[in-house]
Amino acid sequence: MPTPDENHAGARIKEQRRLARLTQRELADRLPYSYSLLNQVECGARPATADFVAAVARALKVDVTVLTGQPYVTELQHDRLAELVRPIRESLDLYDLGPNPDLTVRPADQLIDGADRMCAEVRATHLRNAARELPGLIADLTHAAWSTPSTELWQALASTYRTAHDISVKLGYYDLSAVALDRMDWAAQRASDPCLAAVRQYMRALVYFREGEYRIGQRLIASGHNVIGQADETREALAVTGQLHLGGSVIAARADDDTGVKCHISEAHKIAKRIGDASDVHWLSFGPANVALHKMSAAVEGRQYDDALKQARKMKLPSQLATSRRAHFLIDQARSEMETGHTEAALKSLVEARRLAPEQTRYHPAARETITGLVHLSRRTPDTLNHMASWIGL
C-alpha cells in the first residue's frame, strides 16, 4: 500500500495544532470528538469529515480552508481554472461605478437569458464555461441596470452574483464567495425581490454551516423565512421556503438536533407534495427528489451512515435532476459506503461522480477526504484508486 504524503486535512490539523502549542490531548478536550479520533485523523488513518474539520477550525480559531487546503491551487492551475478567478473578482468590484461609456451591450432580454444560462451551466457542472463567460456578463448587466433600471435587470444581475458565489464555493475561494453574496444582496434590494433576498440568506447560512457556526446558520435560515414571509404565497415563494427548510435540515443535523431535522424535512416534504417539482425556480432544484436527497444528507451529516446508505440504495433519481445534485449524492453515498466498510462500492461511487462532474468532484473536500480514506483502508491499492488519488494530488 502506498504511503500518502502530507497533503491531507489531518496533516494540516496537526500542523495548526502545533502552531497553537497544543498537545493532542489538549485539543481533543476542546472538541466534541474523542482523543482517539483526533489521533487517527492526524496520522491519516481516518478521513477528516466536514463536521470534524469545522469543529477543529473553531477550536484553533482558524478558517476552515486552512485545514482543507482550499483553494487547491496546484490542481486549479493544472486545469487552468485559477486564471479565470481574477476576472470574476474584478467584475464584482464594478457594482457602484454606474454605466460604462466604453461598453456596447446586448439587448436586455439577451442579458437576462444569459444570466439564466450561467445558472444552467453551473447546475450542469460546466464550471469552466461559466467562469469564462461570467465576468463579461456581469459587466454588461451592471451597465444595463444602471443605464435603464428595471426589476428584471436588477434580478438578472443578482442572479449573476449568485453564480459567482456558486463558482467560488465549488473552486474553494470562500473569500470571493462572501463578496459575491454581498453584491447579490445589493442587487436584490434594488430589484425589491424578497425571494432573491431569502435565497441569499439561505446561501449565507450554508457558508456558516461549512464554518461550523451552526447557531448563526440557524438564525440566517430563520431570517430567510422572515424575508420570504413578505412575499405573496406564490409557487416561487413556496419553493424558496421549502429550500430554506432543506438548508435548515442539514444545519440541524450537524448541530445534533434530531427534532430540528425532522421538522425541517417534514415542512419541506409538505411543500414539495403541494407544488411538485420546482427545479426551475431560482435553479434551487427544489422538489420531492431534493427533499429525499437532503434527508439522506442530513443522515450523513449526523454520522448516521447505515441509515444514509439504506436511503441511498432506495433512491430513484429523476432523469431531469441537475448533474451537480446527482454528483453530490454520489459523493455522500461514497462517504457512507466507506464509513460502513463498503470500500469497493465507495470507489465506484466516486468514479461515477468523476465521470458525471469531474471539476466539481475534484475540488469537493468530501470527495478528496474519502479518496484519502480509501487509500489508507486498502491493503492493496487498486489501479483505479491510484488514479483517483493521483488525480486529486495525493
Give the DSSP per-residue string, 116-174: HHHHHHHHTT-HHHHHHHHHHHHHHHHHHHHHS--HHHHHHHHHHHHHHHHHHHHHT-H
Supply the DSSP symbol for 340. Answer: T
Give CA–CA dist 287/284, Å, rounded: 9
pLDDT tens by residue, the chain, 394 residues = 344 456 788 999 999 999 999 999 999 999 999 999 999 999 888 888 889 999 999 999 999 989 998 898 888 988 889 899 999 999 999 999 999 999 999 999 999 999 999 999 999 999 999 999 999 999 999 999 999 999 999 999 999 999 999 999 999 999 999 999 999 999 999 999 999 999 999 999 999 998 889 999 999 999 999 999 988 999 999 999 999 999 999 999 999 999 999 999 999 999 999 999 999 899 999 999 999 999 999 999 999 999 999 999 999 999 999 999 999 999 999 999 999 999 999 999 999 999 999 999 999 999 998 998 898 887 666 778 888 988 887 7
Q: What is the pTM of this model?
A: 0.90
Q: Which CATH architecture has domain 1-69?
A: Orthogonal Bundle (1.10)
Cell numbers representing residue 119 in the block = 445558472
Look at the block and give the residue holding cell 427545479.
Answer: 279
State the first-to-last Cα distance of the chain, in angstroms, to the nearest integer.
13
Q: Where in the chain is the domain with CATH 1.10.260.40?
A: 1-69
Q: Which residues on neighbouring strands pair with residue 278, listed in sequence order?
A: 286
- What would the grid cell of residue 154 be? 436588477
3 state SS for 211-227 = HCCHHHHHHHHHHHHHH
* Sequence-distant (≥ 6) Cβ neighbours of residue 142 within 8 angstroms: 91, 94, 95, 97, 100, 157
